[in-house]
Amino acid sequence: AAPGEAVLTAVHFHDERHGWAVGHDAVILRTEDGGASWSLVHQAPEEYRPLLDLWFENENHGFAVGAYGLFLETRDGGRSWQRRTLLAEDMHLNAIAGGPGGRLYIAGEAGTLLRSDDAGRRWRKLASPYRGSFFGVLRLPDGNPLVFGLRGKAFRSPDGGRHWRPVVTHGESALQGGAVFADGTVALVGNDGTVLVSRDGGRSFVPSGKAPRQAFASVTAAGEALVLVGERGVSRLPRAAEGAP
């Protein structure tokens, strides 16, 4: 069970034991036993700034991002957090993604895109291919970013965010979540039952017509199924149904 009553928005595990969750009231929870128990390590309800995503480089160093430019960093495994300012504007920072080599990406409101090449010490703003909001960013199997958001917009960069190429998503429903799986498969989910699957590193996506027609917020893999989390709870979509009309 998690302490408190705040709505949680994202969870990240660095390994089987060390995990963190973030949510409204700038709440951050921490577990050291694989999620069996959680402790509250940060909250700021008076600010009305929800945290929306997080990412950890290792079990000590990580970041949390949120509404109105909220950006927090920890270097002690989440026991304490320091606030940093990345932008002069108070744009929502909706998602953060990283991986080996210290390169990180942030995607947010009004086309906001940021990149760090040194594990989050310094950040620079990227030229954006879209003025609408991005709700997610993924690091693809080749290390490059894929961003997605409003009106079914998605863009893939072949060169670390210097240039962007539009990705066909077969609709205009907002894309809310995504994941890259161990076998290189990429999945995106969103409103109106949208489930898109790519088997070529995010270059092209095939829609599935087998998912329940509801808004999905996130996706993960469980054996031979996709597990979808949305407005009606948890749904399972057999991997064999990916791309079915």
The residue that leads in pLDDT, 165 or 234, is: 165
As a whole-number percent, the residues of the chain with pLDDT over 90 amount to 83
For the cut 50, the answer to whether the pLDDT of residue 244 exceeds it is: no
Structure confidence by residue, pLDDT tens digits, 154-181: 999 999 999 999 999 999 999 999 999 9
CA 185 to chain centre: 16
Are 237 and 220 in contact by the 8 Å Cβ rule? The answer is no
**Quick one: pLDDT at residue 100?**
84
Q: Is the pLDDT of residue 213 over 50?
A: yes
**Domain 179-245 maps to which CATH number in 2.40.10, 3.40.50, 2.60.40, 2.40.128?**
2.40.10
Query: Taking the complete model, does pTM exceed 0.85, yes or no?
Result: yes
Q: Does domain 8-178 have CATH number 2.120.10.80?
A: yes
Q: What is the pLDDT of residues 35-61, one digit of tens each?
A: 999 999 999 999 899 999 999 999 999
What is the arithmetic mean of pLDDT over 10-20?
93
Contacts 24+ apart (CB under 8 A), 160-163: 160/103, 160/115, 161/105, 161/113, 161/115, 161/126, 162/126, 162/127
What is the gyration radius of the CA atoms in the chain, in angstroms?
17
The mean pLDDT value of the chain amounts to: 93
In the chain, CATH 2.120.10.80 covers 8-178
pLDDT at 31 over 90: yes
Residues 6+ apart with CB under 8 A from 44: 25, 26
pLDDT cut 70: percent of the chain above it: 97
Burial of 131 (0-12, 13-18, 19+ CB in 10 A): exposed
3-state secondary structure of 67: helix
What average pLDDT score do residues 112-141 get? 98
pLDDT in tens, 99-117: 889 999 999 999 999 999 9
User: Start-end ranges of CATH 2.40.10 in the chain?
Assistant: 179-245
Check residue 3 and give its pLDDT.
Answer: 77
- The pLDDT-based confidence of 245 (bands split at 50, 70, 90) is very low
